[in-house]
Each structure stands twice: as structure tokens, then as C-alpha cells.
């Protein structure tokens, strides 16, 4: 009997949580290629740092992926898969030049970790190969998505409420807008360079 009551309580709690979370979806237009869309903040809430450490590879003299979106507090592993030495540095995080950093230069097969504690776009460069560039986009919340090549995106499990949602694209001006989430919510962006 107690087990059935416990199972019922757990099932009702799961339904309640699902009922209080929604989806933000839409399209980023006006620019070609991938963009990142993220919820700026959730009032009164902080989020634990993710335990998963995504990899930004240097392969074929390119940063791969070109754009890596992560949650604030994430440690990114920078890997060198090329047979030549590579360097990783950035001059700012979200435009703040005080947060610039140089990870140094290392050979094939080595990795260097870095924890991104500040939100914003991080323009990656290699001082050994100046033609290389990439981005880590650090979202202040776990609610973010990278668009597909046509600009479509979907952010799932966003708690019901009112937020500011921002769209970022390489070389374009960010665009932010207020969004109220209750079930499925649409938010489209038109960016310009």
C-alpha cells in the first residue's frame, strides 16, 4: 500500500514539473549559418556547473565545431588533433577585455581545460595560425540552443515565466526580446551585420 502511494506521489510530481515547463522555439533570420539563442537569466535562481566537459578540437587547421555553446561554469577541453602545434587565446569574454586569456601552445594529442565562469561570446584565435577562428558562446542559464543551418531552434524544459531571450550570431549585433513562457512559445529574431 505504501509503495503504491509513493509511486502515485512521484508520478504526480513529474506531471506537475512537466506542466510548469515549456518550449521556446523560432527562427533566426537575416544571417546565414548557425546562431545561438539563450535565456538571459531566471530570477532568483543559480545553476550548478555542468559536469560534462565538451571538447573544442583543433583539426584541419580549424576550430571544430566552429561555434560551441555552453552553460556558464562549464569546463571546455581544448584538444589539438593536428600534427602541428596549436595555440588558443581570446582577447575578451562578452566584450570584457579583462577576461582575455592565453592557454599557450601544445602538440598533437594534448588537451588544455578552461572553465568559463562569465557569460558572453568568446572569440577564439590561434597565434600560430592567424587564419583560424572559432567561438565559445557562454549562456548564463542551461536554457540555450544552437540553430540549425536554416536558423530554426528549440529550447526545451524552460520553466514557465517571463524572461529575456537573446540571439547571437558571429559578426552580427545581438538581439534580445522579452518572452513569456507558458507551454510552447515562439520567438523569432531578425539579425543584421
pTM of the model: 0.88
Is the peptide bond preceding residue 147 cis, with omega within 30 degrees of 0? no
Instruction: Give the number of other CB atoms < 10 A from CB of residue 118.
Output: 15
pLDDT, position 12? 42
Q: How far is CA 156 from CA 23, 131, 142, 145, 152, in A?
A: 5, 36, 10, 9, 13
- Displacement of CA 50 from its chain's centroid (Å): 12
| Per-residue pLDDT tens digits of the chain, which is 193 residues long | 544 544 444 344 444 444 589 999 999 999 999 999 999 999 889 999 999 999 999 999 999 999 999 999 999 999 999 999 999 999 999 999 999 999 999 999 999 999 999 999 999 999 999 999 999 999 999 999 999 999 999 999 999 999 999 999 999 999 999 999 999 999 999 999 8
pLDDT, position 47? 95
CB 191 within 8 A of CB 37: no
pLDDT, position 123? 98
3-state secondary structure of 99: helix
pLDDT, position 188? 98
Of 138, 69, 63, nearest in space to 99 by CA: 138
pLDDT, position 20? 82
Domains recognised in the chain with CATH numbers: 1-37+158-193 (2.60.40), 48-140 (2.60.40.420)
Amino acid at each position: 500500500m505504501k509503495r503504491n502511494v509513493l509511486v502515485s506521489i512521484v508520478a504526480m510530481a513529474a506531471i506537475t514539473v512537466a506542466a510548469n515547463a515549456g518550449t521556446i522555439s523560432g527562427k533566426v533570420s537575416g544571417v546565414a549559418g548557425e546562431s545561438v539563442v539563450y535565456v538571459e537569466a531566471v530570477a532568483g535562481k543559480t545553476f550548478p556547473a555542468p559536469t560534462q566537459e565538451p571538447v573544442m578540437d583543433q583539426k584541419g587547421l580549424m576550430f571544430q565545431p566552429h561555434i560551441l555553446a555552453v552553460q556558464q561554469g562549464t569546463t571546455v577541453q581544448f584538444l589539438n588533433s593536428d600534427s602541428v602545434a596549436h595555440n588558443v587565446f581570446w582577447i575578451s569574454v562578452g566584450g570584457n577585455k579583462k577576461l582575455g586569456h592565453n592557454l599557450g601552445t601544445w602538440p598533437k594529442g594534448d588537451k588544455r581545460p578552461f572553465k568559463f565562469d562569465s557569460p558572453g561570446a568568446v572569440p577564439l584565435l590561434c597565434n600560430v595560425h592567424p587564419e583560424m577562428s572559432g567561438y565559445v558562446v557562454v549562456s548564463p542559464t542551461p536554457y540555450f540552443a544552437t540553430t540549425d543551418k536554416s536558423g530554426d531552434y528549440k529550447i526545451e524544459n524552460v520553466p514557465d515565466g517571463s524572461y529575456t531571450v537573446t540571439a547571437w550570431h558571429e559578426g552580427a549585433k545581438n538581439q534580445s526580446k522579452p518572452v513569456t513562457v507558458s507551454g510552447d512559445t515562439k520567438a523569432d529574431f531578425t539579425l543584421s551585420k
